[in-house]
């Protein structure tokens, strides 16, 4: 018997039929002897439709009103799910963010949870109800609704799980867990039975969309076990939890890729003190989310500075770079939007030397051009041409022994051995 929080995304509750199936699933958990609290997103594309309505009356809707509007989406799905459970003979009650005691800092559109008072949920559980909580929303100290930002329902689920001290926070979606790489790109990718918070965070940050990054951060902070699994099967998914000290751990846990970035380069920048600081200061002011920064070696008092940022920031980035080029008297600037960032992630990387060398050798062996590099203690990211991103993911997946049927010996080659094999082959 466990205390379970089960979060269902918009696809899982997109129609009355699917809502009934979610009800069946929750009832099955309860009848198996568990206590269960559901957290739901808005039905299907409801949020997009509400945004479209808002834009039809105001191109730049005030965030207080927009939050209140979007919050209705989850209130529709939560009540329908409660009704569906009641129709099947079990007691259920729905709870808005306010009713679930989720207090936020009042930052509309991207509120942070300040506290959670789970009394009503716990009382409902004690009374035999299946509580259903609206994801994505909370209330500020003025009594106004605030939303947690896109993907915020995962955060709600983790917060509720923490608030009621649940054994596990199950996050149901249309993928059945976390893979060593995107199976659509790399058919030999394997589902991980578990992954550490740190690795999951790096994978999410590097473009793996299975779980919301803030939710994982929240879970790590409060030590909430997440179980990422499929809404359409009973198969076990992937547990995200504190890493156990193991005898040996894999150097690389998984490979992420991200095709949502663009790369800008300002060329012929006078190599003076403070120029870089000025550039990135201006970009920050304009709200451009700079991801990687690459500064090439200075040549005759001039240097090239590149950076990547989300393609959603393209217009702001272009404008700012134009202004910078003129202000710092640089030669010119370029933008390329056909790039991809491929990242190797693994806590084991910290104690395994040679990961970068091996990754570069693998790229070279596969004729993949490296455009930029950035690293963290447990991540190595390589920017490549978008057309080569799938090849890069698959080559690295194989080289680091992640393939489901990988030849152990082959994948244990060092960078030198790879380069040697490569030279021999030519």
User: Which positions lie near a second copy, rule CB under 8 A?
Assistant: 16, 19-20, 23, 50, 53-54, 56-62, 64-66, 68-69, 71-72, 75-76, 78-84, 86-87, 92-94, 96, 98-99, 143-144
Nearer to a second copy, 108 or 190 (CB): 108
Q: Give residue for tokens 């040996």.
A: 248
- Smallest distance, a second copy to C-beta of residue 46, A: 10
Nearer to a second copy, 46 or 303 (CB): 46
- Smallest distance, a second copy to C-beta of residue 100, A: 11
Distance CA 298, CA 132 (A): 59
Nearer to a second copy, 144 or 249 (CB): 144
Nearer to a second copy, 98 or 110 (CB): 98
- Smallest distance, a second copy to C-beta of residue 401, A: 48
Closest among 185, 174, 188 to 237, alpha carbons compared: 174
Distance CA 202, CA 213 (A): 9
Distance CA 316, CA 103 (A): 33
Region at 20 (left for phi over 0; alpha for psi -120 to 50; beta for the rest): alpha
Nearer to a second copy, 56 or 423 (CB): 56
What proportions of the chain, in percent to the nearest 5, are helix, strand and coil? 40, 25, 35
- Smallest distance, a second copy to C-beta of residue 252, A: 45
Cα angle for residues 185, 191, 196 (degrees, 5° grid): 110
Nearer to a second copy, 127 or 338 (CB): 127
Q: Which of helix, strand or coil describes residue 168?
A: strand
- Smallest distance, a second copy to C-beta of residue 36, A: 18
Beta bridge partners of 299: 302
Closest among 242, 279, 258 to 181, alpha carbons compared: 258
- Smallest distance, a second copy to C-beta of residue 66, A: 7
- Smallest distance, a second copy to C-beta of residue 81, A: 8
Nearer to a second copy, 99 or 411 (CB): 99
Distance CA 357, CA 365 (A): 12
Beta bridge partners of 226: 169, 240
Where would I find the beta strands (DSSP E) of 271-351?
293-295, 302-310, 332-336, 339-345
- Smallest distance, a second copy to C-beta of residue 24, A: 12
- Smallest distance, a second copy to C-beta of residue 248, A: 50
- Smallest distance, a second copy to C-beta of residue 316, A: 23
Q: Give residue for tokens 């949920």.
A: 121
- Residue 99, phi then psi, degrees to nearest 5: -65, -30
DSSP H or E run through 395: helix 389-399
Nearer to a second copy, 93 or 330 (CB): 93
- Smallest distance, a second copy to C-beta of residue 101, A: 10
149, 108 in Cβ contact below 8 A?
no
Beta bridge partners of 294: 306
Distance CA 251, CA 247 (A): 13
Nearer to a second copy, 54 or 293 (CB): 54
Tokens of 200: 């999951």
Cα angle for residues 18, 24, 25 (degrees, 5° grid): 90
For helices 46-57 and 63-87, the axis angle rounded to 10 degrees is 150
Nearer to a second copy, 69 or 373 (CB): 69
Nearer to a second copy, 144 or 271 (CB): 144
């Amino acid at each position: 018997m466990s205390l379970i929080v089960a979060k269902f995304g918009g696809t899982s509750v997109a129609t009355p039929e699917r809502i009934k199936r979610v009800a069946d699933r929750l009832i099955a958990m309860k009848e198996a002897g568990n206590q269960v609290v559901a957290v739901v997103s808005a039905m299907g594309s409801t949020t997009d439709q509400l945004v479209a309505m808002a834009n039809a009356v105001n191109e730049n809707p005030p965030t207080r009103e927009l939050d209140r509007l979007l919050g209705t989406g989850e209130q529709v799905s939560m009540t329908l799910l409660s009704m569906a459970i009641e129709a099947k003979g079990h007691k259920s009650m729905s709870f808005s963010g306010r009713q679930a005691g989720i207090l936020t800092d009042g930052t509309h559109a991207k509120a942070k949870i300040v506290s959670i008072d789970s009394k009503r949920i716990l009382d409902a559980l004690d009374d035999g109800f299946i509580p259903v909580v609206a994801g994505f929303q909370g209330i500020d100290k003025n009594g106004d609704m605030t939303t947690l930002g896109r993907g915020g329902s995962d955060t709600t689920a983790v917060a509720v799980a923490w608030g009621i001290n649940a054994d596990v926070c199950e996050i149901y979606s249309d993928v059945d867990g976390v893979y060593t790489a995107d199976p659509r790109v790399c058919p030999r990718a394997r589902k991980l039975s578990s992954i550490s918070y740190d690795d999951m965070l790096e994978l999410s940050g590097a473009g793996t969309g299975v779980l919301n990054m803030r939710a994982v951060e929240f879970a790590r902070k409060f030590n909430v076990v997440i179980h990422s699994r499929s809404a359409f099967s009973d198969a076990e998914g992937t547990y995200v939890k504190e890493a156990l000290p193991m005898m040996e751990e894999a150097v690389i846990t998984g490979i992420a890729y991200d095709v949502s970035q663009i790369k800008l380069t300002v060329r012929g920048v006078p190599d003076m003190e403070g120029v870089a600081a000025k550039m990135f200061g201006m970009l920050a002011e304009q709200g451009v989310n700079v991801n990687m920064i690459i500064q090439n070696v200075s040549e005759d008092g001039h240097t090239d500075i590149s950076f990547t940022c989300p393609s959603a920031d393209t217009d702001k980035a272009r404008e700012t770079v134009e202004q910078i080029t003129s202000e710092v008297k640089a030669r010119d600037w370029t933008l390329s939007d056909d790039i991809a960032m491929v990242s190797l992630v693994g806590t084991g990387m910290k104690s395994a030397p040679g990961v970068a060398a091996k990754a570069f050798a693998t790229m070279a062996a596969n004729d993949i051009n490296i455009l930029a590099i950035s690293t963290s203690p447990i991540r190595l990211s390589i920017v490549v041409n978008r057309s080569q991103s799938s090849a890069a993911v698959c080559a690295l997946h194989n080289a680091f022994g992640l393939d489901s049927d990988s030849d152990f010996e082959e994948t244990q080659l060092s960078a030198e051995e790879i380069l040697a094999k490569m030279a021999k082959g030519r």
